[in-house]
């Protein structure tokens, strides 16, 4: 029988209290795990953005269009490697609730600028050859059960065809995957010419441009050149690095980081009070037993370590169960019928969670452990 056995027996001596304390810790870490997965997913939009990629939008608002003629002028700049343009299509599949991030793009350049979307050379050739072809991300294809080669109808809640229809027919020519685990595969891309020639709102406008520079060091210079090129025109531009664009886009929802951190902190504070109180009570009830153990020859430091280990173990068990539950929640969220960035409970989240578990165990255990350390044998036995 080692100390671990004594710690375990002490921990399990009151099953109801153990269950409630574990449950409280479990809930806190499940909230932490799930919300952090969300936060990391949103942050990944910023983190995974390419350093050498810029976004050019209308200076009034990014929902305002730009003339397509801008693409050629930006492409002509010396330090620009590739330019593509994207139009938000407002597409949905079968029912309006099945909204998608769907863009009409300049296919050839699009794959150069957004090279983190992985398709084979054959698929690339097939897409370029098929005017009605679209490429769909793995996540959205799984969501709707799309297969390569399938013909699908997609409606737009913004655009209509010249004959009044709001549905377009597409061929799924490729299901793309992401270069990174957290690369978004919830989007759909199709040919701009198909969009431009069939929609009824007039033509030759684009939503925004994606620009790849020859090196990130030249970003500032390219930004300046682009915006100066269109100054005092009817559609002035605002060019920003993609990271900044994504960050600003996410911040439209609010300060997500602050909201998530506040919720997690509140959960941890409650848990700190509950578990801390439970540990203090538990050790107070054992005053006599601690006195007996010291009398038998257990040193104060050994008992200190055992009490601290008990609270650590409690936090580790409850916390780990919470993170496992968070993995389940995240798995469910990833299958939910609404679009979310890929949610992952990865190594860094486990690392953070482990650090918080140990911290929680330390904070909740230190007071009773010190009290056990200082406990005088005679006083302890007289309270028995």
DSSP state of 237: E
By CB under 8 A, tell whether 384 contacts another protein: yes
The nearest distance, CB 283 to another protein, in angstroms, is 14
Which residues, including other chains, have CB under 8 Å from residue 350's CB and lie 6 or more apart?
323
By CB under 8 A, tell whether 12 contacts another protein: yes
Options 158, 273, 281, 378; binder of another protein; rule CB under 8 A: 378
The nearest distance, CB 281 to another protein, in angstroms, is 16
DSSP state of 51: T
The nearest distance, CB 21 to another protein, in angstroms, is 16
By CB under 8 A, tell whether 104 contacts another protein: no
The nearest distance, CB 374 to another protein, in angstroms, is 11
Rounded (5°) CA angle 359-364-368: 135
Of the pair 255, 379, the CB lying nearest another protein is at 379
> Do 111 and 117 meet the contact criterion of CB atoms below 8 Å apart?
yes
Q: Which of residues 276-335 bind another protein (CB under 8 A)?
A: 288-289, 292-301
d(CA 280, CA 365): 8
Pairing of strands 101-105, 187-191: parallel
By CB under 8 A, tell whether 9 contacts another protein: yes
Q: Which stretch binds another protein (CB under 8 A): 33-41, 171-179, 344-352, 376-384?
A: 376-384
Strands (E), 89-191: 91-92, 101-105, 117-118, 133-137, 151-156, 167-178, 187-191
Of the pair 6, 250, the CB lying nearest another protein is at 6
The nearest distance, CB 295 to another protein, in angstroms, is 6
Of the pair 15, 234, the CB lying nearest another protein is at 15
Tell me if residue 190 falls in helix, strand or coil: strand
Of the pair 16, 296, the CB lying nearest another protein is at 296
Of the pair 277, 299, the CB lying nearest another protein is at 299
Structure tokens at 59: 């200076």
Which residues, including other chains, have CB under 8 Å from residue 348's CB and lie 6 or more apart?
40
User: Footprint of another protein on this chain (CB under 8 A)?
Assistant: 1-3, 5-6, 9-10, 12-13, 288-289, 292-301, 377-378, 381, 384
């Amino acid at each position: 029988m080692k100390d671990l056995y004594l710690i375990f027996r002490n921990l399990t001596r009151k099953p109801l209290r153990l269950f409630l304390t574990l449950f409280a810790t479990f809930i806190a870490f499940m909230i932490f795990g799930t919300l952090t997965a969300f936060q990391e997913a949103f942050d990944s939009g910023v983190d995974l953005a390419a350093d050498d990629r810029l976004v050019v939008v209308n200076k009034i608002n990014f929902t305002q269009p730009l003339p397509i003629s801008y693409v050629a002028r930006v492409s002509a700049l010396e330090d620009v490697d590739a330019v593509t343009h994207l139009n938000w299509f407002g597409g949905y599949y079968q029912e309006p609730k099945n909204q998608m991030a769907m863009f009409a793009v300049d296919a050839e350049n699009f794959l150069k600028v957004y090279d983190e979307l992985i398709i084979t050379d054959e698929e690339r050739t097939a897409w370029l050859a098929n005017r009605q072809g679209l490429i769909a991300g793995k996540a959205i294809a799984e969501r709707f059960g799309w297969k390569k080669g399938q013909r699908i109808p997609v409606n737009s809640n913004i655009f209509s065809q010249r004959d009044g229809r709001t549905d377009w027919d597409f061929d799924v020519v490729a299901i793309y995957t992401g270069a990174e685990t957290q690369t978004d595969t919830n989007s759909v891309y199709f040919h701009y010419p198909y969009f431009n020639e069939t929609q009824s709102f007039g033509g030759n406008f684009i939503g925004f441009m994606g620009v790849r520079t020859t090196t990130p060091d030249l970003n500032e210079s390219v930004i300046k050149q682009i915006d100066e090129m269109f100054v005092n025109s009817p559609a002035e531009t605002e060019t920003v690095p993609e990271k900044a664009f994504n960050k600003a886009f996410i911040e439209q929802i609010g300060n997500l980081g602050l909201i998530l951190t506040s919720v997690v902190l509140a959960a941890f504070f409650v848990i700190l009070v509950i578990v801390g109180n439970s540990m203090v009570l538990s050790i107070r009830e054992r005053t006599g037993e601690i006195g007996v153990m010291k009398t038998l020859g257990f040193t104060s430091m050994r008992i200190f370590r055992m009490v601290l280990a008990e609270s650590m173990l409690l936090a580790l068990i409850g916390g780990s169960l919470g993170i496992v539950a968070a993995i389940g929640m995240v798995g469910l969220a990833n299958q939910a019928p609404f679009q979310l960035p890929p949610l992952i409970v990865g190594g860094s989240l486990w690392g953070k969670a482990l650090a918080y578990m140990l911290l929680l165990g330390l904070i909740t255990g230190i007071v009773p452990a010190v009290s056990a350390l200082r406990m005088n044998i005679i006083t302890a036995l007289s309270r028995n």
